[in-house]
Amino acid sequence: MAYYKLFLISLFISSVLTACGQVNSDKRNENNTLNSKQMQDEILLKPVKSLIEAMEVENAELIRAQFSEKATQAYGADGKMKTPEETKKWIESDIIRRQGKVANPQYSIISENEVVVKGQYSSQGYTNTANFLFTVENGLITSWRMRYN
């Protein structure tokens, strides 16, 4: 009878420890998933935030470095995208030379490769409420759609 009680106590302790291990394991998996999502978000946001910060300090080299060689740009939600060559010229003329900036930028991730930046855009002789849609691939901006409210 003593062995039977000892067996039941051992079985109970074993099941409790196993259950505790599973809870901790589930929590670890949840934390790993959150950390992975946070890392993906940071990777997605990095070139967009770097662009906005580079615009603020007027660092032309850093501005250019955030864009893919094949990056495109358009005005409006339905505007036609410029070619990559036209986009490079536009970045030089409208962003770098005219000292474009976004005041009080607010960043939103809307898909696995799209970021929206809202704030107040201004450049020499121009200002408007910004609602910019960026597409990011392989750590670089591949498109910039300048939508306005």
Is a pLDDT exceeding 90 seen at residue 43?
no
Query: How far is 41 from 112, CA to CA, in rounded Å?
Result: 8
E strands along the chain, which residues? 67-75, 101-111, 114-123, 126-137, 140-148
Query: How far is 81 from 68, CA to CA, in rounded Å?
Result: 15
Residue 5 structure tokens: 């009680």
Confidence of residue 39 (pLDDT cuts 50, 70, 90): confident
Is a pLDDT exceeding 70 seen at residue 134?
yes
**pLDDT for the residue 116:** 97
Query: How far is 111 from 115, CA to CA, in rounded Å?
Result: 7
Is a pLDDT exceeding 90 seen at residue 1?
no
Residue 81 structure tokens: 């995208």
Q: Per residue in 63-107, pLDDT tens?
A: 999 999 999 999 988 899 999 999 999 999 999 999 999 999 999
**pLDDT for the residue 149:** 64
**pLDDT for the residue 77:** 85
Q: Per residue in 4-30, pLDDT tens?
A: 665 556 655 666 555 555 555 555 555
Burial label, 29 (beta-carbon count in 10 A; 0-12, 13-18, 19+): exposed
Contact 144, 76 (CB under 8 A): no
Contact 136, 78 (CB under 8 A): no
Q: Per CATH, the architecture of 2-148 is what? A: Roll (3.10)
Is a pLDDT exceeding 70 seen at residue 59?
yes
Q: Which of 30, 45, 35 is nearest to 108 (CA)?
A: 45
Sheet (strand 140-148) strand order: 67-75, 140-148, 126-137, 114-123, 101-111
Q: Per residue in 115-132, pLDDT tens?
A: 999 999 999 999 999 999
